[in-house]
């Protein structure tokens, strides 16, 4: 690089030049062909790098290995906390309390939302396997009747492409001993699975996060819906509103 401003041009490209210096940089770029060429190159290489590596995801096997390891951490931590609380007073009893806590309380917490765990597991399976969709269609008139023959419930099926949520198809997943209907949407790079099944007395929280995935749930009569995705909360809420605006 022979232009003495080339480092400054790079900073400008990276958005690191403070606002007072911006007019100077813009003037320089109008006259310096070298920096202009640099700019073009930086744009091209950033594009290629992001395209080549930006979408790399952690393998699913690694993700589950990590989550299992973290699950193992939790009882250990609980035991330690309870024990340290009681330790000064009655050390023997403290250990016993800890044991009781681990045996009774931890499983209770873990089983708080079994369906939520099943939903996330089903969502992850669908993303990781080729079995994301069983009936491929952007046409609700194809998906809806398909559910009639395959699932135990008949949910709302609609396409919202103009609002950014494209209907890509449907699937049936076993959930809570039923054949739950899953309507699959694509929103940008995200897949949103909308599960629906016959609800029982157990309430689903309206919003829940598990393992980095968001869940938004609602109920229509005795039909329980739950949208699961790694899309943002607001994006999922928007789809939820669209679905709820349509009467089945």
Partner 1 sequence: MDDMRSRFDAEVLPHLDAAYRYARWLSRSPSDADDVVQEAMLRAFRGLNALHGSNVKAWLLTIVRNCHWTALKQMQRRGFVPLPDEHCAADGYAMISTAAGPEGAAIQRDAERTLDELIAALPLDQREVLHLREIEDMDYREIANMTEVPIGTVMSRLARARAALKVHWSVRCVGEQLVVP
Q: How many residues bind partner 1 (CB under 8 A)?
A: 41
Which residues make beta-bridge pairs with 154? none
The residues near 114 (Cβ < 8 Å, ≥ 6 apart) are none
In the complex, what is the shortest distance from the CB of residue 211 to partner 1, in angstroms, rounded to a whole number? 6
Stretch that binds partner 1, among 19-27, 52-60, 171-179, 236-244 (CB under 8 A): 52-60
What tokens appear for 17 in the block? 């030049």
Name the binder of 16 from Zn ion, partner 1, none, CB < 5-8 A by kind: partner 1
Q: Please, which of residues 138-167 interact with partner 1 by CB under 8 A? A: none
Work out which of 17, 25, 32, 79 binds Zn ion, going by CB under 5 A.
32
**Strands, E, within the chain: which ranges?**
135-136, 166-175, 178-187, 190-198, 207-210, 213-220, 223-229
In the complex, what is the shortest distance from the CB of residue 75 to partner 1, in angstroms, rounded to a whole number? 9
What angle separates helix 91-100 from helix 60-87, to the nearest 10 degrees? 150
In the complex, what is the shortest distance from the CB of residue 21 to Zn ion, in angstroms, rounded to a whole number? 14
What tokens appear for 104 in the block? 């009774």
What tokens appear for 10 in the block? 């790079």
Q: Please, which of residues 100-119 interact with partner 1 by CB under 8 A? A: 109
Name the binder of 73 from partner 1, Zn ion, none, CB < 5-8 A by kind: partner 1
* Torsion angles phi and psi, residue 120, rounded to 5: -65, -40
Q: Please, which of residues 15-44 interact with partner 1 by CB under 8 A? A: 15-16, 41-42, 44
Work out which of 31, 51, 177, 221 binds partner 1, going by CB under 8 A.
51
Q: How far is CA 49 from each of CA 16, 46, 52, 53, 138, rounded to the nearest angstrom? A: 20, 5, 5, 6, 32
What tokens appear for 95 in the block? 């250990």
Give the residues lining the site for partner 1 (CB under 8 A).
Answer: 1, 6-7, 10-11, 14-16, 41-42, 44-46, 48-54, 56-59, 62-63, 65-66, 69-70, 73-74, 77-78, 81, 109, 209-212, 230
């Amino acid at each position: 690089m022979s232009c003495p401003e080339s480092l400054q041009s790079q900073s400008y490209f990276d958005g690191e030049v403070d606002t007072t210096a911006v007019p100077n940089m813009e003037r320089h770029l109008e006259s310096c062909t070298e920096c202009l060429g640099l700019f073009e190159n930086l744009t091209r290489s950033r594009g290629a790098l992001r395209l080549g590596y930006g979408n790399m995801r952690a393998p699913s096997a690694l993700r589950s290995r990590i989550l299992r390891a973290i699950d193992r951490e939790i009882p250990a931590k609980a035991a330690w906390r309870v024990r340290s609380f009681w330790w000064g007073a009655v050390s023997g009893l403290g250990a016993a309390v800890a044991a009781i806590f681990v045996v009774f309380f931890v499983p209770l917490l873990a089983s708080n939302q079994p369906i939520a765990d099943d939903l996330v597991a089903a969502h992850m399976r669908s993303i990781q396997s080729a079995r994301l969709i069983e009936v491929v269609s952007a046409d609700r008139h194809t998906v809806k009747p398909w559910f009639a023959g395959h699932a135990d419930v008949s949910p709302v099926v609609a396409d919202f492409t103009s609002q950014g949520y494209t209907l890509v198809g449907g699937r049936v997943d076993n959930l809570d001993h039923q054949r739950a209907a899953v309507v699959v949407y694509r929103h940008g790079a995200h897949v949103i699975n909308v599960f629906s099944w016959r609800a029982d007395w157990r309430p689903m929280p309206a919003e829940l996060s598990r393992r980095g995935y968001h869940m938004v749930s609602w109920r229509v009569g005795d039909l329980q819906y739950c949208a699961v995705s790694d899309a943002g909360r607001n994006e999922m809420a928007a789809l939820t509103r669209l679905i709820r605006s349509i009467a089945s």
